[in-house]
Structure 1
Amino acid sequence: MPYTLSAPVQHELLVKKSRFLATVTPVADRSEAQALVQALRHAHPTAAHVCWALLAGGQSAAVDDGEPSGTAGRPMLEVLRRQELEGTLAVVVRYFGGVKLGAGGLVRAYTDAVAQALLGAVKVPQVAQHDAHCAVPYALEGWLRRTLAAHHAQLLHTDHAAAVTVRFRIAAPLAPALRAALDEGGQGQLVWLAPD
């Protein structure tokens, strides 16, 4: 079963005067991952390298950022794979300490930095999500919100116009029971809308 992280975690590793600042964080896709990498580059402008690995289905990546090929990104990616993580970004910011570590030393340092960060992370099972969109009269808004909350659905957006339109997300296995409850309780006044 694939897992993701409940929240970002950081860890600092010192190896022969070099500082390896590891961050592991859950991400939705490659564009979110690249934005986080850019933010870390801006936060650490004097760092020698900002290496990263992303495990996100078909959007996975391993970037060495100037380190010898295969000594940073790929070992970090392997740590994520061994932990059965999905939708997870690992970034290691390296401040060079003046002592060369060699290829083996670099692989160990990047691997250890990510592995140590993951020791402090909380892994949660990754469950497929289902998004839905519906409309109800104003009189049923309170009932709709209570029903969504009772079924552990996440309210994404509410719009108040001629009717109340609501976008929500729910774990895919729970979606059929919620839909049945909404269809029954909506008394024919709930209208399912096509996704945008």
Structure 2
Amino acid sequence: MPYSLSGPGLSELDIKKSRFLGCVEPMADRAAAQRRVAELRAAHPGAAHVCWALLAGGQSAAVDDGEPSGTAGRPMLDVLRHQDLDGVLATVVRYYGGVKLGAGGLVRAYTDAVAQALLNTQKVERQVRVELHCSVPYALEGSLRRQLAAANATLLAVEHGSQVSLRFNVVASQAGPLQAQLNESCHGQLAWLRP
């Protein structure tokens, strides 16, 4: 079963005068990961490298950012895979200290930076959510909202037209039972729309 993280975890390692700032954090997709890496580059203009690895719903990446091929991104990605993580971005900002570490030293440094960061956060069970979209008469909106809240559904959008249209997501395993409950409680006045 894949896991994600409850929040970010940080680490800082000093190895032969080089400083490695590790971070692991929940991340939805590659586009969000690239924005985060760009933020780190802007926040650390003096850093020699900003290496990163991503596992997010079938999207993966391993970026060495100028380090010798296979010495940064791939080892970081391996740590995430070994921990059975998904929806997680690992980044390591390296400030070069003037002493070369060699390929083995770099692999150990990047691996350790991610592993130490993981010790500073908690793994949580990753729950796949599905998006649903329905419409109901105005008189049923309040009841529907209460039932969605009770089911821990996340309301994404509400539109008021001739009827009330609600877009929400819910844990995939609860989608079927929730739809059945809503159909019954709305007495045939609820219409399911394409998400």
Shorter chain as normaliser: what TM range?
Answer: over 0.9
How far apart in 1 are the matches of 2:77 and 2:104?
Answer: 16
Say whether residues 1:8 and 2:11 are aligned partners: no
Alpha-carbon RMSD: 1.2
Q: Within 5 Å, which residues of 2 pair with 1:44-193?
A: 44-193=44-193
How far apart in 1 are the matches of 2:162 and 2:18?
Answer: 61
Q: Provide, for residues 155-188 of structure 1, a one-character-per-residue CA deviation record: whole Å limited to 9, x for no partner.
A: 1111222221111111111111110110011122
Residue 2 of structure 2 aligns with an amino acid whose one-letter code is P
How far apart in 2 are the matches of 1:191 and 1:9?
Answer: 43
SS at match of 2:157: strand
In the TM superposition, residue 127 of structure 1 has moved relative to its aligned partner by: 2.1
Residue 89 of structure 1 aligns with an amino acid whose one-letter code is L
In the TM superposition, residue 57 of structure 1 has moved relative to its aligned partner by: 4.5
How far apart in 1 are the matches of 2:84 and 2:54?
Answer: 13
Name the stretch that deviates more: 15-24 or 109-118.
15-24
Residue 88 of structure 1 aligns with an amino acid whose one-letter code is V
TM-score for the superposition, normalised by structure 1: 0.95
How many residues get paired?
195
How far apart in 2 are the matches of 1:150 and 1:58?
Answer: 31
| Cα pair 2:9 2:119 within 8 Å, conserved | no
Residue 123 of structure 1 aligns with an amino acid whose one-letter code is K
SS at match of 2:25: strand
| Cα pair 2:133 2:165 within 8 Å, conserved | yes
How far apart in 2 are the matches of 1:148 and 1:187?
Answer: 16
Residue 153 of structure 2 aligns with an amino acid whose one-letter code is A
Name the stretch that deviates more: 126-135 or 56-65.
56-65
Runs of 4+ in 1 over 6 A off after TM superposition: none
How far apart in 2 are the matches of 1:3 and 1:189?
Answer: 38
Residue 86 of structure 2 aligns with an amino acid whose one-letter code is E
In the TM superposition, residue 147 of structure 1 has moved relative to its aligned partner by: 0.3
